[in-house]
């Protein structure tokens, strides 16, 4: 095997599973990267993490009911998102509400996974739910992923200005007649879609890497919110594409004919992106510092 084939493995373009992974991954990444920027700006990273985690409950319940895991992810996310918004009416209450709801939902997930192990033959269900794999996404899910990603991006576009205003200065936005709570509920719907799609792609406990990593990098690197949203979506797509390529190539890495999970590469790339974003932010601050003049003037 030639050395370059360890970087670009043969047969990648002719593999149907790779085609599906790239299509599904792109759709998921666009929604996650764009929505994730506002998650970072609003300080709701813990909520995004919780929504991914509680997807475990919905996906395990879906296995028990014999329906697609995606619908279980979305159902659990919708219940959790609604409960968090209802219980956490004030910003300082949101983390407490998120923690309480997440604890209950994860306890329910433990029960469902226990029942899955007893009453079904899906022995790989916990691994599939927790760590996911784009290579196992069914092509039949593509229309649903298109609809969900378009819905999340459409919601974000419709509420962009009031969302930006209420994120920066919620009290002033409220005094200007913006229905801050309604905007928050609409954004929570977009966040639920993005978080649960990410959970389907890279696993429930790793979905934060795709939702937060590229977005946090974009928020660090960009100076304008609109630029950050576009950059976040682009970085998330690049993360997914490169992650799929490396996962496919890893079939030829030690241990040979085994392959490494896509989720590992997505989390690694997210970490590297965030580090690079920090360096760019530091460099911009350094350039903005006044240059001392000679002679103390």
Per-residue exposure over 90-124, b if at least 16 CB sit within 10 Å of its own CB, e if not: eeeebbebbeebbeebeebbeebbeebeeeeeeee
Dig out the tokens for 137 from the structure: 């996404």
pTM of the model: 0.84
Q: What is the pLDDT of residue 5?
A: 54
- Which segment of 64-78, 79-93, 262-276 scores lowest on mean pLDDT? 79-93
Sign of CA dihedral 166, 169, 170, 171: negative
Query: Residue 250, SS3?
Result: helix
Contacts of 37 (CB under 8 A, 6+ apart): 215, 218, 219, 225, 228, 229, 232
Please list the alpha-helical segments (H only) found in the chain.
16-41, 45-65, 69-87, 91-119, 125-131, 142-158, 160-168, 170-175, 180-202, 207-221, 225-249, 262-288
Q: Per-residue confidence at 277, pLDDT binned at 50, 70, 90?
A: confident
Contact (CB, 8 A) for 129 and 59: yes
Residue 139 has pLDDT above 80, yes or no: yes
- The topology under which CATH files domain 15-278 is ABC transporter involved in vitamin B12 uptake, BtuC (1.10.3470)
**172-181 — which CB contacts under 8 Å span 24+ positions?**
181/89
Query: Residue 8, SS3?
Result: coil
* CA–CA gap between residue 80 and residue 101 (Å, rounded): 7
* CA–CA gap between residue 208 and residue 61 (Å, rounded): 21
* CA–CA gap between residue 266 and residue 246 (Å, rounded): 10
Q: What is the pLDDT of residue 38?
A: 94
Contacts of 25 (CB under 8 A, 6+ apart): 134, 201, 237, 240, 241, 243, 244
Q: What is the pLDDT of residue 294?
A: 57
* CA–CA gap between residue 54 and residue 204 (Å, rounded): 8
Residue 16 has pLDDT above 70, yes or no: yes
Contact (CB, 8 A) for 53 and 106: yes
DSSP 11: T
97-129 pLDDT, tens digit per residue, is 788 888 888 899 889 888 888 887 766 777 778
Query: Residue 134, SS3?
Result: helix
Q: Percent of the chain, pLDDT > 90?
A: 29
Please classify residue 292 by burial: count the beta carbons closer than 10 Å to its beta carbon, then call 0-12 exposed, 13-18 middle and 19+ buried.
exposed
Contact (CB, 8 A) for 40 and 219: yes
Contact (CB, 8 A) for 262 and 251: no
Q: What is the pLDDT of residue 36?
A: 94
* CA–CA gap between residue 265 and residue 249 (Å, rounded): 11
């Amino acid at each position: 095997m030639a050395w370059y084939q360890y970087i670009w493995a043969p047969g990648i373009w002719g593999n149907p599973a790779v085609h599906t992974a790239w299509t599904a991954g792109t759709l998921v990444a666009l929604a996650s990267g764009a929505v994730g920027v506002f998650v970072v700006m609003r300080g709701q990273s813990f909520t995004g993490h919780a929504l991914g985690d509680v997807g475990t409950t919905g996906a395990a319940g879906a296995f028990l009911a014999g329906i697609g895991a995606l619908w279980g992810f979305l159902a659990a996310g919708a219940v959790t998102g609604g409960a968090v918004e209802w219980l956490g009416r004030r910003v300082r209450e949101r983390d407490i509400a998120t923690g309480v709801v997440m604890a209950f939902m994860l306890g329910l997930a433990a029960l469902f996974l226990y029942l899955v192990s007893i009453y079904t033959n899906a022995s790989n269900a916990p691994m599939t739910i927790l760590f996911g794999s784009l290579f196992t996404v069914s092509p039949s899910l593509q229309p649903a992923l298109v609809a969900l990603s378009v819905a999340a991006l459409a919601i974000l576009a419709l509420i962009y200005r009031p969302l930006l205003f209420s994120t920066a200065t919620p009290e002033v936005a409220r005094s200007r007649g913006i229905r801050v709570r309604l905007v928050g509920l609409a954004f929570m719907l977009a966040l639920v879609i993005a978080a649960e799609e990410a959970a389907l792609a890279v696993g429930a406990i790793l979905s934060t890497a795709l939702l937060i990593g590229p977005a946090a990098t974009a928020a660090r690197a960009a100076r304008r919110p609109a630029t950050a949203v576009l950059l976040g979506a682009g970085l998330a797509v690049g993360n997914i594409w490169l992650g799929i390529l490396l996962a496919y190539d890893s079939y030829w890495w030690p241990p040979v004919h085994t392959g490494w999970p896509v989720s590992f590469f997505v989390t690694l790339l997210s970490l590297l992106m965030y580090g690079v974003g920090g360096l760019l932010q530091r460099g911009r601050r350094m350039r903005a510092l006044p240059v001392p003049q000679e002679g103390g003037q």
